Amino acid sequence: IQAEKGGYKHFMLKEIWEQPRAIRDTTLGRISLDSGQVFLAEMGLASEDLATASSINIAACGTSWHAALAGKYMIERLARIPVDVDYASEYRYRDPIADPTALGLLITQSGETADTLAAQREMMALGSKTVAICNVVGAMVTRDAHGTIYTHAGPEIGVASTKAFTSQITALFLFALHLAQVRGKLTSAESLHLCEELSRIPAKMIDMLKAVSAQTERLARDFSNARDFLYLGRGIHFPMALEGALKLKEISYIHAEGYPAGEMKHGPNALIDETLPVVVLATQDPSDAGSRLRYEKTLSNIQEVTARSGRVIAIAVEDQEEIGNLVEHVISIPRAPELLLPLLEIVPLQLLAYHIAVRRGCDVDQPRNLAKSVTVE
């Protein structure tokens, strides 16, 4: 077992460090850095079905559900198709609306999650075609799906998902880009720019991993005794706040909640005091007007927290002096376009959860009461 961990103390840490490779492998052969074209013919669903879909329904569980939420932002922004995201365990029970013009999308690392398979059956019974994003070749979900996009994360052993998650985000980005191209929503210059930026992520992530490792370990020392944690984000960064909170609760057993930053005043503000660590996703792409605006709003949310003596750990892109003056701790990450920032910003949150769990003596790879794959409803 020690050998399988490749010198790392836990599978989870090994898998965190494998993410640049997993993202590269998931991208490999699927983009052209000459034309900006995305190739997903291997998926097996006719381009016509993608060109004519009137809406997309996504169902997933756990970490895969957080990837699905991020996928909604990507698909709606790039391809302008309305997207609904459901917990797979809820989908069948809400009398969902779907028909042959809607496309069903299932996101599942294992491809065997019972609720996700049941949601797929429901979508098909309503006449929708389905596409699976899956990490295991030949898994159950792929057998009924009309199309499959495989993630190439490789086997994931840690119960808390890391590299499978960032590979799902990568596959969703490719899918959104492909949909946008099939539907004529992007110029070739825009496509090329996004493909180039995606291809730069693995190298940026390697540099970042080296830069933030020791810092997250130090932060874990300061915060491992907290009773609760709050994670905040806006836009596509909100699902990353949810995922950061899930990582912490799964493996360290500290109660943590993810919240949209703008909702603080509708409840969570009441929780803030000097004992509450608040992790804020405060990244931005300064070249993107929407991203800049969201960032400005997030900065005012940070001020609301610090005014109440909350202890803020902010994740920000490099060289943001303003934020350094506002908060106690800043974790810097490389710059990237808005829709690709999630791939980078989730990594320090994974590491923070990991180091806190290790300090608390938890069984990081095998948390109590949890299973890697949930094959019962």
| Residues belonging to the active site | 372
Q: Which is nearer to ligand G6P, 161 or 284 (by Cβ)?
A: 161
Please list, in sequence order, all residues whose beta carbon lies within 8 angstroms of the beta carbon of residue 26, skipping any fewer than 6 positions away: 151, 152, 153, 167, 170, 171, 174
Type of residue found at 160: A
Residue 329 binding ligand G6P, by CB under 6 A: no
Coil/strand/helix, residue 37: coil
Q: Which is nearer to ligand G6P, 123 or 313 (by Cβ)?
A: 123
CB of residue 215 to ligand G6P, shortest distance in Å: 25
**Residue with smallest beta-carbon separation from ligand G6P:** 62
Is residue 38 within 8 A of residue 174, CB to CB? The reply is yes
- Residues 312 and 327: their CA atoms lie apart, in Å, by 6
The pair of three-digit structure tokens given for residue 290, joined into one six-digit string = 């929407």
CB of residue 178 to ligand G6P, shortest distance in Å: 22
CB of residue 134 to ligand G6P, shortest distance in Å: 8
Candidate list 50, 61, 68, 362; residue touching ligand G6P; CB under 6 A? 61
Residue 170 binding ligand G6P, by CB under 6 A: no
CB of residue 376 to ligand G6P, shortest distance in Å: 12
Candidates 187-195, 313-321, 334-342, 367-375: pick the segment binding ligand G6P (CB under 6 A): 367-375
Tell me the C-alpha to C-alpha distance, in Å, between residue 119 and each of 6, 141, 174, 222, 300: 37, 10, 23, 42, 40
CB of residue 14 to ligand G6P, shortest distance in Å: 16
**Residue owning tokens 């075609």:** 129
Residue 240 binding ligand G6P, by CB under 6 A: no
Angle between helices 163-182 and 62-79 (to 10 degrees): 20
Type of residue found at 175: F
Is residue 252 within 8 A of residue 267, CB to CB? The reply is no
Q: Which is nearer to ligand G6P, 132 or 344 (by Cβ)?
A: 132
Binding mask 137-166 vs ligand G6P (x if CB under 6 A, - otherwise)? Answer: ----------------------x-x-----
Coil/strand/helix, residue 377: coil
Q: Which is nearer to ligand G6P, 111 or 233 (by Cβ)?
A: 111
Q: Within 13 Å of residue 241, how many CA atoms lie on the same side as its CB?
A: 25
CB of residue 308 to ligand G6P, shortest distance in Å: 33
Binding mask 11-50 vs ligand G6P (x if CB under 6 A, - otherwise)? Answer: ----------------------------------------
Residue 366 binding ligand G6P, by CB under 6 A: no
Candidates 8-16, 118-126, 297-305, 368-376: pick the segment binding ligand G6P (CB under 6 A): 368-376
Is residue 109 within 8 A of residue 123, CB to CB? The reply is no
Residue 252 binding ligand G6P, by CB under 6 A: no
Exposure string for 307-329, b = 16+ CB within 10 A, e = fewer = ebebbbbbbbbeebeebeebbeb
Strand order in the sheet with 277-281: 255-260, 228-233, 277-281, 311-317, 329-333
Q: Where are the alpha helices (DSSP H) in 43-162?
A: 47-52, 62-79, 88-91, 114-125, 140-144
CB of residue 111 to ligand G6P, shortest distance in Å: 7
Among residue numbers 99 through 138, which ones bind ligand G6P (CB under 6 A)?
A: 108-110, 113, 116
Residue 63 binding ligand G6P, by CB under 6 A: yes
Candidate list 26, 27, 64, 148; residue touching ligand G6P; CB under 6 A? 64
CB of residue 163 to ligand G6P, shortest distance in Å: 11
The pair of three-digit structure tokens given for residue 282, joined into one six-digit string = 């405060």
Strands (E), the chain: 55-60, 83-87, 102-108, 129-134, 147-150, 228-233, 255-260, 277-281, 311-317, 329-333
Residue 249 binding ligand G6P, by CB under 6 A: no
Which residues here bind ligand G6P, judged by CB under 6 A?
A: 61-64, 108-110, 113, 116, 159, 161, 370, 372-374
